[in-house]
Structure 1
Amino acid sequence: MATRAFPLADILSVTTGLLLTQRTENRGAALDEIFEYMTGEELAWWQAPRAADACIEAFIAQHPFLTDLKPPMVAKTPIGKATLLLWLTTAQLKHGTTLDVEPLADWVHQNKGQELVDRIELANLA
């Protein structure tokens, strides 16, 4: 299966839940790009959590070191941001600035409207 290289910072944005991408224009677009490649379809915003869960599993299966790559807990201060950037830079020096990933082979397409209705119904059950 063909692979595509993505910035490590973008992949870590998915695996850590922190927006670590270093792209300056529309930082959220980095996640959209990964999810579109991995799933093979353009997703609605409410489909992103399901895509993220599937991508995390795939990223870790393809690059097991991601399991142990956890960012430090920092405050949202200039020092905290600098600490996070230092952690990211260290990870990039150790593992490279990009990683090749294969798209998901088992992504289940769902109708966007129906998936939204299902999510709302599940939220109402809680």
Structure 2
Amino acid sequence: MKINFPSIPLAVGALTIALAGAVIGMAPANAETGVFVTTQSGATTCNLLSNQVACEHASGFWQTAGRYGMAVVGQDGTFQWIDGDIGTCEPDCGGGPTVLTYGTEYHIKGWTIEPSSDGTSFTNDRSGRGMFVSIQNVDSF
């Protein structure tokens, strides 16, 4: 089953704007708002923009990666670990982030999202680049 979600404007605050500026360069202060999603297990939360996806593990790190903070991939496949917190969408997203159901393909902000019990892939629709996040690790492609 495929589900297309419209972009829902969210007040995500200065942290996301600062993150966008750090990853993509000079971003206007009101350039774009993100869409928050979380995995069915609740272990990973991500914020999607058209030009990047930022994810964080519920515990704050991926154990095998030995990293803290956020895993961020740009639409061109550029990958970075960034110290910080993607924040929360409350109260602006109507009760919380969109929960990604295993086996359902999502299309949000130019990204194809494929969640499964093994992990979730985020693939940019234009470049085919992205990342796979799981409880154990993060891999960019």
Shorter-chain TM-score: what band? Answer: under 0.3
The structure, 1 or 2, with the larger RCO (C-alpha pairs under 8 Å, 6+ apart) is: 1
Greater radius of gyration (CA): 1
**TM (normalized to structure 1)?**
0.26
Relative to total residues, which structure has the larger strand share, 1 or 2? 2
**TM (normalized to structure 2)?**
0.24
